Structure 1
Amino acid sequence: MPEYWPGAMENPGAITFADQILLIDPAGASVAQRRLLVEVTAHEMAHMWFGDLVTMAWWDDLWLNESFASWMGDKVTQEAFPETEVEVRSVEGAQKAMNTDARLTTRAIRQPVGAMDNLLQAADELAYQKGEAVLGMFEAWLGPDLFRKGIRDYLAAHEWGNATAADLWSALSSASGKDVGKPMASFLDQPGVPLVSAVLVDEGKSVRLAQQRFVLAGVKAPPTQWQIPVGLKYAEAGVVQTKTFLLTSAAQDFKLGVSRPVDWIHASAGERGYYRWSVARPLLATMAEQAATRLDTRERIGFVGNLSALLDAGMVHGGDYLRLLAAFAADPDPLVVSAVVTALEEAKTALITPETRNSFATYVQKTLGRTLERIGPAPRPEEPESVAALRPALLWWASVYGNDPRVQAYARELVDAYLGDPARVDPGLAGAALEIAAATAGDRALFDRIRKRLDATTVPVERTRLFTALGRFRDPALADEALTIPGMTFQEGGALIKSMASSAEGSQRVFAYHRRHYDELAQRLPPMFLAFLPNFALGQACSEDRLAAVHDFYADPKRNVAGTDKELAMREEEVRGCVALRAREAAAAAAYLRTVDPR
């Protein structure tokens, strides 16, 4: 369906899809496009059981539909299409949810819903990724077989009817013989994410686990307590063991069942826990250096995400953060390197200033640039899907942040070939090449060539690719012209705005456009979408002045539609966190970057 903003919908017997998801040419689709189609299809098919066969009793249990559809959909995708590695990639979704949950403006997964105006905001990463991660944590604690039995009993008891979270807990408790209700309620009925600290005691034969709510540095943690299945991984005399303990108090000691002191301990075995974790700083550094031999891929991805969280919490300094990330950038698994890209993308806005851009470019060349050299800038026969999926991000980073003239020239060559005949360029590289050329050498001539190609194609996927590239132009006049291209569909305009708002300068232009054309936007967009405009106006912003200007504009009663206050509050907390992180750690990051050898 064209102009279909939900992406897909699980209507029984008539699943609907947005055209840009479904209408792809398998021979000309990128890895990202193929993955999206497979995973969305599996998610919607899973809804036939979770959502259609058994439906939530009310909107406060929306997570019962979405979390379970994500959980089951990913299992089916992994089995049918193992090359997608979705079972490992789902860790990044949990990391994203925990980032949201770190803020005081977060919400509980289950929350009262009394009006239509907040339903769209309830369909967020908490309902999807957090819910899926929490289900996975309890599946690991109970064991897959008992968990599956509980789910089957739940579906059988409520088929063709409605159910609540309490019904699910009852079924899982009956199947497992454990009280599942209280632990699950602690994750679903209160906001936030726990921070679990692990300290070895009893001469290294026991562990002391303590919990508190995870918050950003300088924020007072509200008193919150969970019942947490904590998975530990440790080694005794080189023999690796895993155990799960249920942490129900503020702090508890647990015996590890060893006769000698353990060699090391990791606080999130299999990266199945929905919690942040901390260990002694020397152990953290040692684990980072030896991660490739001690931790599996899921654990290494989780380690990178957790490291970013510790930076935000003031528990790791900026220089140490960049140094430890460099070790993971050399990881042999592309999915771990992808996690490093995500981590650097989130941190660079705060840590990198105009004065440190050149030294940061050297850092990028020595880390991600070397990984690009290892996998090569062009696709290779029979390479893993994860390598093909990583390459576009590495090309972007090497060109835009690493200032590598060779990669920039390579991107321009690809663009010349693509605009002559799209079939000449691998679809996985086309989008990255267009965006790189626009961001690094975007002039009137290139802009006009992209516009000409845009006029020549009606293929939804290609048009989205071209609009995304137009959002990367840095020339203010060309950027403004892109925003006024006639005939853009809702999805195409969204791709353009999202792309432009991915830089601080671009989001400033988006905000200026909103100020000039708000009345027109208000007539074209449904009110529930207007509430999200501040997100694009503050993309990558790290300035109190920007924040004040955006707040004053959208808080005006003439523009403060239902849901705007909530979006503003979340973005304000995000921007202020960036400002505080820059003040606290940018100097330490700069000091480390000065030590990076450019050779």
Structure 2
Amino acid sequence: MKTLLLASAALLFTVPAAAQTPEVPLGRLTDAARPTAYRLALTIDPTQPRFTGHTEIDTQVARATRSLYLHGNDLNVARVIATAGQRTLTARYTQVDASGVARLDFDGALPAGRVTLTFDYDAPFMTGSEGLYRAKVGDDWYAWTQFEPIDARRMFPSFDEPGFKTPFTLTITAPTAQKVFANTPEIAHGTAGGGLTVHKFAASKPLPTYLVALAVGAFDVVPGNAPANAVRKTALPYSAIATKGQAARLQLAASEGPKILALHEDYFGIPYPFEKLDQIASPVMSGAMENAGLVTYNDTLLLLSPDAPARQRSDFGMVVAHELAHQWFGDLVTPTWWTDIWLNESFAEWAGNRVGELWQPGLGTEVGQLAEALAAMDTDSQSVGRPIRQEIKRSDEVSSAFDSITYQKGGQVLTMVERYLGPDRFRRGVQYHLNRFRYGNADANDFFASMAKGSGDAGIVPVFRSFVEQTGVPVISIRQDGTGWRVTQARYRPIGVAAVAPQTWNVPICARQGEVRSCTLLTGATGTLALKGSGLAVPNADGAGYWRYSLDDAGWQTLMAGAAALPAREAMAAADSLWSDFTAGNASFARVVSSARILADHRERSATLLLPSAIDGVERFGLTPAADAGLRRLAADLSLPRLRSLGALKLTTGAYAGEETGQSQLRQSLVSYAAFVAKDAEVRRQLTTAAQASLAGNAQALDPSYRAVAFVAAVQDLGVPFMDQLRTALLASTDPLFRQQAVRALGAADTPAAVTRALALTEDQALQSSERVSMLRTLPTRPIGRDAVFARLQQNFEAIAGTIPAFSRPRLPLSFAGYCSADKAAAVEALFRPKLAILGGGALELGQTLDAINQCVALKAAKGAEIEAVLTKAQ
């Protein structure tokens, strides 16, 4: 699953928790029973508020019992029977915990052996992307599913854990005019009467509950073509699916999805492991989900216009590659339990970025991957954190495992290991693992053993374990030692982060000098690295390592003098390490600023703007007017000359058609930085004028690549009147990208009146539920919006939290990590700590939020005067 964080409503508040006893399994179920097959028959009419279901579960019962625990969340169960041979027992069904734990109490002893459990029930459709949810799009109602991690239990009674893989057979009765899709091909259909049709689907390969999927509605279907190749000897049924009227925007998914799939097949050496592949869009979906045979995406990820911006094309390629990688890592081989969900997500992140770059090299997937990994290091450096492999004991801990540590840290660790081992040996290990556990389950120890045997290098296991099983980022202090380096490792600790016991990792340290790459494996606190090339020596060759480095000032001066000519990933790693050395109390702020000026000439946008974006963060300190003016002047120096060097700014549609993608993306990033950090009046005027003209009906006035930034500038400069025009245009639009850009712009309000209007829009039922929550998530990214949302939560916490699906709700505290005062930290603590039960988790996220605020406070105290002095001189 590729997450975009928050989405919409759930039932945690309406399901009373029974008095808990120690035997209620709030994490893994016991070994009392194990499912062996499911047969699901559902009647689904998306125009109605509820659906009905009949579920049969073939179950192996370990020992005679009068009760069993399984899962079901807000299911109105009318009848339960258990059939064991010729004997039938009835049971009473009781939901005993709000997380969806249920107990069956039988009217006699259920014997050991094979038993079939049969349930008849009905349940509500959800409105956000959880369980079986529905939405109205245009004049039509649709239904989709989103079950990961623990929401299958909202659609059917189940043993809702990843370790239980079984075949599923689905029969779906739906209105005759609507199309129905599931994981497997439809094998029969017939009339059910009353305007309904019965659709029967083939039994699936063994799947966990979270990968079961279906969709019902008046969909457009565009068939693609997944031809046979060297790995898969036969053609594969393939299609792209979306709501009515979107067929034209499905063309890229129909033509390019099979190409991305073939790149994975070539790497894994294993044919796509399921019977067909449908890719389906949903306007409510948050991110994307790797359901076997029926992969679901947010509309903006799958529906692209012919003039789609490079960023949207890049997101398409990366996310499709991520979800299709899951067909092997996650679907073919599934973790035994949520503790090892990193085996799914880290590999999908790594493989998705790898294949995205192969699919269209010019879109910048590789530098985007590193930028996300560097951001994950900030999270990993906090006092409160978690390792990639975190033991999950309770269901309310599961959602915390779907974060940047699992995805981006995990993906970067895999990149580091692959570069250290060599791509061929790494690939052999991956292929060995997938073949060893195909259609089954595996845990971390299984994976480590597979990589050792498949790669032929058992020494890689301690490297994996040192990064996967402990929290934190290594920082490598580098000092010149003759012709080489003396290196020392420790845990990176920024100012404000509490000291911990000494840590070491097995760190593959690679440097580049000229064209020569030199590596060593640092297993202790200190070591040496012999450099074998000539010229500038660059730590962290290709930016592949999951570590930061620290130099003395002379070392930084030498490295940064040549930074503008470094390859993009190495320049990004250097900029990140310099900023981190500053926030740890080592490098000076003056060195940071001088290096930002050097990197302003780098050809790649992420390298150009990494340090300027970090510098902009000091605005949280509450600068004096002189320092604030200096910050704006510095931001102008770092953006406007480079922007002008690219030519006169033209915002009209197609103005830069045919231009090299990297240069186009650099210009777009510079425009955004100049508008919102430098606050350049002329750039903002151009953006605002183009936004007004676009909404007035001039289709050529504003290219989609600049629409997002122009809408934000117009919301901020023109206020409520423009916001109301934008809302009208949003509701009239069927373009998912336009709608997303409009929603995010509305959430960027930064005046009292505009924020009040935006808060009202978060309750506007004319918007999709996911759009309302996106606005709620965007508002706290600016100080005035953050205060307004916080105040609203203080007034009505449960109602607001209830608009967010259970999976995303524990992340709500992180919306307030941008505060920078002890008083605000205390207020956040006071608001959220008593409400963690309502959030269904969130202790980790609250701790990270408080830590981020306290770090800011400590950095301001330690470096505020230095920052003020440097910025004041920049006027």
Q: Return the TM-score normalized by structure 1.
A: 0.92
Question: What are the within-5 Å matches in structure 2 for residues 377-396 of structure 1?
Answer: 377-378=649-650, 379-396=655-672
Aligned partners of 2:603 and 2:803: how far apart in 1? 48
Structure 1 residues 444, 85: CA separation in 2 closer, same or farther (over 3 Å shift)? closer
Asked if the contact 2:413–2:467 (Cα under 8 Å) also holds between the matched residues in 1, the reply is yes
Deviations 1:324-345 (A, max 9, x none): 2121122122331243454334
Deviation at 1:354, TM superposition (A): 4.2
Amino acid corresponding to residue 37 of structure 1 in structure 2: F
Deviations 1:396-428 (A, max 9, x none): 322233232211210121112211236321001
Asked if the contact 1:30–1:428 (Cα under 8 Å) also holds between the matched residues in 2, the reply is yes
Structure 1 residues 577, 176: CA separation in 2 closer, same or farther (over 3 Å shift)? same
Amino acid corresponding to residue 301 of structure 1 in structure 2: M
Aligned partners of 1:49 and 1:530: how far apart in 2? 29
- Which residue, out of 542, 551, 566, partners 2:829? 551
1:587 aligns with 2:865: yes
Aligned partners of 2:727 and 2:424: how far apart in 1? 55
Residue matched to 2:603: 332
Residue matched to 1:434: 711
Give the stretch that moved more between structures: 43-52 or 330-339.
330-339
Asked if the contact 1:214–1:221 (Cα under 8 Å) also holds between the matched residues in 2, the reply is no
Aligned partners of 2:314 and 2:515: how far apart in 1? 34
Amino acid corresponding to residue 72 of structure 1 in structure 2: A
Structure 1 unaligned blocks of 5 or more: none
Q: Secondary structure at the match of 2:840?
A: coil
Deviation at 1:178, TM superposition (A): 4.3
1:209 aligns with 2:480: no
Structure 1 residues 2, 471: CA separation in 2 closer, same or farther (over 3 Å shift)? same
1:17 aligns with 2:297: yes
Question: What are the within-5 Å matches in structure 2 for residues 308-323 of structure 1?
Answer: 308-323=579-594
Deviation at 1:263, TM superposition (A): 5.5
Aligned partners of 2:828 and 2:437: how far apart in 1? 47
Q: Secondary structure at the match of 1:149?
A: helix
Deviation at 1:240, TM superposition (A): 4.5
Amino acid corresponding to residue 509 of structure 1 in structure 2: A
Aligned partners of 1:177 and 1:468: how far apart in 2? 48
Q: Give the fraction of aligned pairs with identical amino acids, expressed as a percent.
A: 29
Question: What are the within-5 Å matches in structure 2 for residues 18-417 of structure 1?
Answer: 18-27=298-307, 29-174=308-453, 175-201=455-481, 204-218=482-496, 219-234=498-513, 240-256=515-531, 264-293=536-565, 295-350=566-621, 352-376=623-647, 377-378=649-650, 379-417=655-693
- Which residue, out of 849, 855, 859, partners 1:571? 849
Aligned partners of 1:496 and 1:407: how far apart in 2? 25
Structure 1 residues 539, 433: CA separation in 2 closer, same or farther (over 3 Å shift)? farther
Deviation at 1:496, TM superposition (A): 1.5
Structure 1 residues 243, 163: CA separation in 2 closer, same or farther (over 3 Å shift)? same
Q: Secondary structure at the match of 2:494?
A: coil
Deviations 1:457-477 (A, max 9, x none): 243322221121112222212
Structure 1 residues 405, 506: CA separation in 2 closer, same or farther (over 3 Å shift)? same
Asked if the contact 2:477–2:550 (Cα under 8 Å) also holds between the matched residues in 1, the reply is yes
Deviations 1:534-571 (A, max 9, x none): 222x2521122222112211122586533232221101
Structure 2 unaligned blocks of 5 or more: 1-280
Q: Secondary structure at the match of 2:635?
A: helix
Asked if the contact 1:319–1:590 (Cα under 8 Å) also holds between the matched residues in 2, the reply is no
Residue matched to 2:771: 492
Residue matched to 2:20: none
* Count of residue correspondences: 584
Structure 1 residues 415, 210: CA separation in 2 closer, same or farther (over 3 Å shift)? same
Aligned partners of 2:699 and 2:664: how far apart in 1? 17
Q: Secondary structure at the match of 2:384?
A: coil
Deviation at 1:445, TM superposition (A): 2.5
Q: Return the TM-score normalized by structure 2.
A: 0.64
Structure 1 residues 142, 23: CA separation in 2 closer, same or farther (over 3 Å shift)? same
Asked if the contact 1:335–1:386 (Cα under 8 Å) also holds between the matched residues in 2, the reply is no
Deviations 1:295-340 (A, max 9, x none): 3211001111112211221112223222221211221223312434
Residue matched to 1:443: 719
Asked if the contact 1:528–1:563 (Cα under 8 Å) also holds between the matched residues in 2, the reply is no
Aligned partners of 1:353 and 1:319: how far apart in 2? 18
Which structure carries more helix by proportion?
Answer: 1
Amino acid corresponding to residue 583 of structure 2 in structure 1: D
Q: Secondary structure at the match of 1:501?
A: helix
Which structure carries more strand by proportion?
Answer: 2
Q: Secondary structure at the match of 2:781?
A: coil
Residue matched to 1:418: 694
Aligned partners of 1:472 and 1:232: how far apart in 2? 42
Residue matched to 1:455: 731
Q: Secondary structure at the match of 1:423?
A: coil
Amino acid corresponding to residue 428 of structure 1 in structure 2: S
Q: Secondary structure at the match of 2:490?
A: strand
How large is the RMSD of aligned CA atoms in angstroms? 2.2
Structure 1 residues 299, 348: CA separation in 2 closer, same or farther (over 3 Å shift)? farther
Aligned partners of 1:220 and 1:364: how far apart in 2? 34
Deviation at 1:501, TM superposition (A): 1.4
Asked if the contact 1:396–1:436 (Cα under 8 Å) also holds between the matched residues in 2, the reply is no
Aligned partners of 1:473 and 1:339: how far apart in 2? 25
Aligned partners of 1:171 and 1:360: how far apart in 2? 52
Give the stretch that moved more between structures: 422-431 or 586-595.
586-595
Deviation at 1:347, TM superposition (A): 4.2
Amino acid corresponding to residue 476 of structure 1 in structure 2: P
Question: What are the within-5 Å matches in structure 2 for residues 516-555 of structure 1?
Answer: 516-536=795-815, 538-555=816-833
Q: Secondary structure at the match of 1:200?
A: strand
Give the stretch that moved more between structures: 9-18 or 308-317.
308-317
Aligned partners of 1:30 and 1:169: how far apart in 2? 40
Q: Secondary structure at the match of 1:26?
A: coil
Structure 1 residues 339, 382: CA separation in 2 closer, same or farther (over 3 Å shift)? farther
Q: Secondary structure at the match of 2:666?
A: helix
Stretches of 4+ aligned residues off by more than 6 angstroms: none
